[in-house]
Every structure is written in structure tokens, then in C-alpha cells.
Structure 1
Amino acid sequence: MKKLTLPATVPVKELAERLSVSGPELIKYLMGNGVMASLNQSVDFDTAALAADHFGFEAESEEAVAEAAPASTRRRHPLLDQSRADPKSLVARPPVVTVLGHVDHGKTSLLDAIRETAVASGEAGGITQKIGAYQVEKSGRKITFIDTPGHEAFTAMRARGADVTDIAVLVVAADDGVMPQTEEAIQHVRSAEVPIIVALNKIDKDGANPDRILQQLADRGLVSSDYGGDVTVVRTSAKTGEGVTDLLDMILLTADAEVEPKADPKVGAVGTVIESHRDPGRGPVATVLVQNGTLRVGDYIVAGQVYGRIRALLDERGERMQQAAPSTPAVVTGLSGVAEAGDVFQVMANERSARSLAEERGFAAKQQQAQPVRRITLADLASQVAEGSVKSLNVIVKAEANGSLEALRGQIEKIEDPNVKVVIVASGVGPVGEADVNLAAVTDSIVIGFNVRPDDRAKAAADTQGVDVRYYDVIYQIADDIAKAIKGLYEPTFVDVFQGRAEVRQVFTVDGRPAIAGSHVIDGRIPRNSICTVLRDGKQIARSRVAVLKRFKDDVREVARGYDCGITLEDFGDFAVGDVLEAYTVEQQNL
């Protein structure tokens, strides 16, 4: 029986997803056992465990698992977590490798050299399409490579719940050295908690200085085994092919010694969408990586908000397959729409279950979009520290120059507390970028910028993912805010955000109730539940919340510029014609 780890309480919708059944199916079972719960309601662990047993799972509590398992910050999607699977059902699978590094250090050339050296089928040059993932063979064993555009995409996928990489290969040019993108890649791989192998590339070029590069890597915490450290460094040349075979050998050795990748090929497939697009002739097409189970032609799957029946499975050469085993990349057709990269897919029992789960996710996504993004701030962390639920405070630091960055790191590293540790997850010179925000989302970090600002993509990503990005121009203020948060003393600053202005044109009283200000909106908008200041002859005479906002006889949420309305305040009714009402919303200041 398959094992399933569940929290103390779990929403019915999430439980159905983990059990690979539709919401209505689960609700029907619960009703048959006297439990009346809707999709958005939660059930306790005992109830969820009974449902799990009915649908073929053995449930375990997260608390018991956490006590038995070693501490780790690595995030895994519940469907991808094999830590509690029956060991007897697990067999070895090929390791999955992601290659990262600076854009000019030969990453693409090295990947091409690997393809030409060890294509899984032995047909070098037989690849007819690039699907973002492929397999090679070395010593009779397969290795799967994920060809992502860079470390930003690597972390963006992790931010969506994907966890595909077993080993990361960091490519560094022997004639160039560690560059800013190299440092960022190191930080992103460390956050994923996977083994790192360094490919010291371009060793055949004039000016190559491997010893200098090894020292640069050591300065950043990657100490080569040549220097007594634990990081494997393989010297390669994508141009001549030197070291490529050695690199593949080290990947297999690292997989055996540190990763031991395993999966259960007999269960329904679960995996991750690597990329997806709409083909004019075939419709929606997705490249997927099977991570557990076996995916077969004819299976019904759900990936994010799309579903479908697998019409065809293709390998990287465009050849048809009947099935894809664990760690196998495949192109699939038959989906109802274009899935998003990073979506976790799962095989469902039938089309009804697949369609129902996809529709539930679509409905949930629309509801989430209608709600404000929950932003984690220093104030929130302070309250969690006070409750004892936070043991570390993660920060990502960006500054305008190396000197400022070192000074800022020094100030933060001086902060000490017996109960909470400050962890600098990443740091760098330059503006706050989208990669910084994605990394913060994955690691639950606060982004701190000193004399820098974000680009537009970073702003959008921060708003979407609810990442707190804070900006300072005085270093001691940063240290002071962090110290207060650690001690649970940080108090947020709230500011009035102007929304609109209205002029009182007529005053009404109704059956002795508070007066109604018949007003005309002359600027912006007047939202219901906003705070209004009442100005008379330019002086504030009152401040109160809007209790009632009407257009004619109808209650409305807001009234825009150019329209008339009736306004009633909670604690003020002494209006006069000519009064000006200014509406504000109170928001927490994060900058």
C-alpha cells in the first residue's frame, strides 16, 4: 500500500488531489461516513486517514514523520516526496542533472559535447528536436539532463513546487573565472540542497588558469577535493571533448554515493512539466519528466489546470514510445491546454476525475487572483519569533557596490540571538532582479536592497509571489530593523494612501439617524470602508470610517470621479454644505 503523509488538518480539495480522485468522489465517500464537508472545508487527520485507506493509501501524520526524519529545508511537492514510500517497492532510477553557469562559459557547448559523446540510443547526431530534456548513456547506465535557460528558470520551477534535480553541474570557464552569474548559480543550487559538481571548462584555451579558478571557488565555499574539500572538479573542454567522459563518470559516482535516486515504477506516474507550447498540427504539446511511476499511452493526467488523455509519447528524437519509466523525459500530446513549466502532473483514474480536478484548480486560481497576495514582512516574522515558531531569519542582500555589500554583510552577521539565527541566503551587487525574488519565494527570505531599486520584472514577481522587498539608504537602519524583528519588537509603520475627494452638496437626516452627506466625487474614488477626513475651510474637523456608501438607494463598493453619492460616517454626522471629504486606505509601509 502506498504511503501518504498528511498534516493535522487538510482541506478536502487538497486531500482529493493527493489521493488522485476527484473532489465529488471524495465528498461522496465522506458523506457516506457521516462527514459533511465541502471542498474548501478541512477534515482532521483521523478522517483523512480513513479516506486514504479507502482509496488505497496508508496515511502518516506530518508530526510523526518530522520527528523521525532529519532536518532539511529542501521543499518537495507532496506528490513527489518518496521519503515515506515502501523501500521494497523502490528501484534505482537514472539521476537527473541540471547544468548551470555563466552565459559565456560554454554550458551549451558542453551539453552538445555530452550529447555527441553518449546519446542513450548510441545514435550520435540522431536527435531531431530539442525538447528541453534528454538522456545519455554511460557504462550501460542512463543519465537524464534538464536543459533549462539558466539558474533563474531553475529556481522559478522550484518556486512552483517542482523539484526535479538530483545533481547540479556548475560550468566555470578556466580562462575567465567566477562571474556574477556564477555566484548566483551557486546560491540557487545551494538553496536546492543538491550535490554540486564543477566542470572547469575551456582548459584547452590560452590563458586558462585552473588554480586561480579553484581559489575563487574556495573563496565562495566550494573547496575542491584537490584542496582537501568535498567538491568534485572535473577539467573539461567542450571543443576537444576532453574530460566529458570523466564528467559522466563523476555524475554516476556522485549519484551512487550521495543521492541514490530511486522510484516505484509500478504506480501511476507523477512528474513535472519542463516546457509546453501549442503546435499548429498537434495542439498543446508538453515536455514532461516522469519522476515516479510509469507513464503510458492512454493514461489520463492532470497538470496544473489542464488535463487530457495521452495520445502519444515521444522521445527526444521524435520516436514514439509506449511508456516512460522514472527519470525519462517525454513529449506528450492530448492535453486540453498549454500547461505551465513547473506544473506537477499526475495520472488519474479516469477522465471524469482528471477533468474535475483540473476544473477545481481553475476555480481555486480565480479565487486566489481575486484576493490580495499574502506578503510576509519583518513585522510578521517578529510576531512569529515572539511565538517561538521561527528559528531562522533568511535574507537576500543586494547593494550598489562591493564595498557597501561587504559593510552590509558585516553588520548583519554581527546580529546575534540565542534563539534565532540570521542566514544570508544570497548577496550580490546590482539592482534587485527577478531571480532574487524567485529565490526569496523559495527560501522564505526578505530581500534587502541598499541604494538599489528593482527592475519592472522584479516588481511584478514580488507582487505576484508576496515577497517583501525592502530598500534602505542607511546601513544601521537595516541592522536595527532585523534586530528588532529577531527580538519580536518590530512594529510596522502604517501610512494613509489617498484614494479620492468628494464635496458635500447637501445634508440629509433620516429618522434621527446619523446625517448623510449628499456628495459629488471631484477627484479619484471613494471606497466603502475607507477612512475619511472631514475638511471645513481647509481644516480637519473629523476623521472616521465610511459606514454606508450609496448610489441612489443601492449600497455600492465605491463611487468614481464625476458621480454623486450618499456618505455616512461611523462617528460623525455634523456635516455642512461645502465640506470636503478625503478618503484614504491605511496600508503597511514596507519600504
Structure 2
Amino acid sequence: MQAPTIGGVRVRKGDGETVRLARGASLTDFAEKINVDPAALVQMLFSLGEMVTATESVNDETLELLGEELNYVVQVVSPEDEDRELLESFDIDFGADEGGEDDLAHRPPVVTVMGHVDHGKTRLLDALRNANVGDKEAGGITQHIGAYQVTTEVDGSERPITFIDTPGHEAFTAMRARGAQATDIAILVVAADDGVMPQTVEALNHAKAAGVPIVVAVNKIDKEQADPTKVRGQLSEYGLVPEEYGGDTMFVDVSAKAGLHLDKLLEAVVLTADASLDLRANPNMDAQGLVVEAHLDRGRGPVATILVQRGTLRVGDSIVAGPAHGRVRAMLDEYGNELEVAEPSRPAMVLGLSSVPGAGQNFIVVEDDRMARQIAEKREARERAAMQAKRRVRRTLEDFMASMEKGESQELNLILKGDVSGSVEALEDSLAQIDVGDEVTLRVIDRGVGAITETNVDLAAASDAIIIGFNVRPQGKAAQMADKEGVEIRYYSVIYQAIEEIEAALKGMLKPEYEEAQLGQAEIRDIFRSSKAGNIAGCMVTSGVIRRNAKVRVLRDGAVIADNLDLASLRREKDDASEVREGFECGMVLKNFQDIKLGDVVEAFEMREIPRG
């Protein structure tokens, strides 16, 4: 029988059989599966109003459309299945303990702290591990996931508990959901003076969806208007019935600020784990687990916070984490102490990876560096193809004509750069959910971790995009290049400000009254200690001018470590100075910030009012 002609091309039609394709597959991949010439598929898509080359990554909708035309059922393989198949091809079974019952040993519970914004999650963790995270967070909102281990005494024996700190703002839903996936028990923090709020319910739903037992910490009981009984009543409506009411959920009244009943909370976690869960893993196999968070450190390279779920991770192991690979050069605990081994449920910071993996990706230990590199390269190629397919927007002649009729671009292109991968991902997810109708579209054309580079500015100039810097600054000559190319770079340290401004820009409502004007930068060349003034920074002004009354920020490795600071003093030689210009040395003291290091850059800026036209 003669093959039918579609779009002027003879193509063999299928009999409704299923074709499995990876995300971001090209027409060549499809053609190989159904044994036809890729050129025929290119022509066929052209006749359907789509211009695609044979080797270009194609999005899922286009592949399914092509399948319908050719009478094939196109099944786009999920990333999880794809990864499982890839690991199986290397004889690796991810997610299963090797050996029998005798090989399993008890492991500590992994706990996620969840709840509504500003109900005291970070302060509770601070109180539990005696280290202050809250002061370092912009706007008092936790921006990154971190993992820590604490110990408590129950029935005379020391019991370790691992905590995963998930961000509190609603924009981080994706990261919070991921935190729940790695979790054995969820602590739901509810403020006794505030009661159940929208994000409390959202966090509760995440924990239920992950199928984890919940312990409720009723916080802020030292406040006058605290009403723990009201909280118990409200949560009973959502199916969390306290033990004292005949239910099976443990409620503990605590005060993170006053340090009340924290030991009872830890005991409740251990008792819940013992009663509800069989927490065992095989420590005598190659380690497997999750990347909780990752960032780029200029001194140490890519640093990943990992959680070992089974097996034991040792220094020197060959490791694959998402599309990154390498040999574990060193491991650190949450206090910066070196670790030789990390056993099940142990969080650790790992150094030695080739690049920054994504938060929530799995890591595995493999036989040697060669296998690690092969798996990582295949994963990276797959991710790149999927990203390209996602970026490709179906544009037909009608679309172009519609844009021309409007006489302006109705598409906002963004490039996202952040200090850690989880923040970038959460920001991208939040921006994707902004709904401003069909007239305007928003596209994230690139994203990454680390300082804003000249390559980012190049891409922004070529594609008419705006660069969003989340807790990062430009590197080298990127800022000058952006000025020259007319590329706008916006800097944020709190995620919802970025979302609000971009939403306002999309709606055409953005009318800023002030804009930031950079005055100059100075590099810290020496540090002098003074009992009276604190740490005095001996600086060389490398560009522009530093003014005594200007606001300053401190940059380390291109990332902002302190923002919106005032100068307590600015001196040239031994005299007070109102300003110091480029090429001159000066001494400065930063108000309320002492953690300066050699090589840090102090950037001076002022907010200037924009004249209304």
C-alpha cells in the first residue's frame, strides 16, 4: 500500500502504537524511533505552521501534535522515569537498600519545620541548635533550605535528630514541598496568638501529601494574647486531633524566644518516630540521598548541602549529584567541622563537585570518576534539551502580525541569577504563576547560580531581556557592559519584592519614585582592630566615590552579604572625610556590621528621586 502524503511529503503512518520520547527530544530522535527521514518531519511541521530544524529540541505539545498526525501515541517520559532508566543502564538501583533485614540499622528521624510566615520557625530552629540564622535573613524571611543535626536525651540515651529548614514565604512552595519529600516527620509551627493561617493549611497539606506524621509546636505561648486551646480546636477541624482530645497527634506548647519546653518538643519527635515509623537504612552500601541546597563559593567552588538517605558517604568517594559530578574532596558539618564519613540521615556540606547541582536532585556514589562523568554528562545533555524545548515558544505568522499591529513587544524576557539554586528555582516558579491575561507573556530565557557575568549581559542585550539578581551582583566588567548595552539589571534580596515589581511591570503599573544610583566601590586591603570602634576597614577606592552619608553594601565573591548599611566613620589619613575618590586610600567603620574580610568590596549607593515626566 502506498504511504499517504502529508504536507507534500510521503510519510509512513503508524497503527496507533506508543512511541516513548525524552523531554526535549528532536525531530531526528522521533524519526529514528519510527524509521522515517527527519527531513520529512521538518517539512510536515512546516505545513502545520511550525518552523523547526531536525536537531532542535521540540516541546511536548509539538511532539504530541506530530504523533496525532502520524497516528502514533507519543509518550513523553517523565524526568523521574528517564533518570531511573539512565541509572539502570549503569546497574544502579536508586531508592532501594541493598542486602536483607540483617543489614539494616536504625537511623535518626529527618524532620522538616513548616508553618505560616513569621510564626517563629527559624527562631525555633535557632533555639534548638543555638546558632542564629534569623539575623542573616533579608526581611526576616528564610531564603534558603539548610540542614542541621541536634541531639536530645530520651530515657537516658542520646538520640540525634536531623532538621531540614524550609523557607517560610509562600513563594517557596516548591522548595517546601521538596523538603517534605525528604522528611520522616513534620513539625507544624503555629503561633498561639495568631492561630491557623493560609500557609499553615498549605504546609499541612504538603505534609499529608508526603504521608508523614505531624507534631504540632504551638509557639509564642509566653505572649499575653496566646491561646493554645484555640489552636488545638482549629487544627482539629483539619484532621489533626490532639492526644488529650483522644486523637493521635502530639501537641507541644513552646516558646522559642523564652526557650520553654524545647526538650519536650524533641522528645515528642523521638516518641512519634518510635511509635509510627520504622526508620532503618543500610549503612554498609554506596551512599545515596538528596541535594538539599547548593551554591557557588569563590574560594571553595561548588558547595552542596546533601542529606544521606542510605549507605555511608566517605571523603574520596566518586559522586554524581544531578548533572554535577566529582570526587568528595572534603565534608563539613553545619558548624564547619570536617567530617570523614556521613551515615544515613546525616546532613553534610560536600566540596569537590564540577558544578552547582539543583536543590532536590538526587546524588549517588558510583564506582569511579569515569562512570560519574558519563552519568553526569548524559543528565546534563538531557536537562539542556528539556530547557531548550521549554524556551521554544510556538510563534506563527499570525502571532507576528498581531505583534506588529500592536506596534510593540508584548513579551517580557528575564534572566534570573541567584546565590543558591533553590532560590532561583522558587523565583522562577513564582513568576510563572503571575497571571496578567493573554496580552503579555513572561519568559525566563536563562537562569543560573553565581554572580552576574558578561555572558548574561550579552544574552540579555541580544534578546532584549531584564536581568534579575537575587542576592548577587555583577562580576568584572558586567555592570559597565550593561550600561553600555542598555541592559537593565534589577537587584533583590527579598523574593516577594521581585515578584511584586515584575507583576507591576507586566501590568504596566510600575511607577518607581526612586532609583538606586551606584556611587563607587572600595576594596578592603587591610583590617585594623580597635577596642573602641570595632573593625576598621583599610580600603582602596577602586571606582567612583565613597561618600560619608551614602548607604553601603558589602560584597563577597560577587554575592551581597550585608545590605543597606550606614558608615559610622570615613577617614582619609587621620582626618574625617565627607568623600573619598577613586585611587585614594581610606579607613571606614561600618555601623552594626563587623564580619568583614580581606578582599571584600564595599559598594556605596544612594536612592535618587526620578523626576516625573
The normalised TM-score by structure 2 is 0.47
The normalised TM-score by structure 1 is 0.48
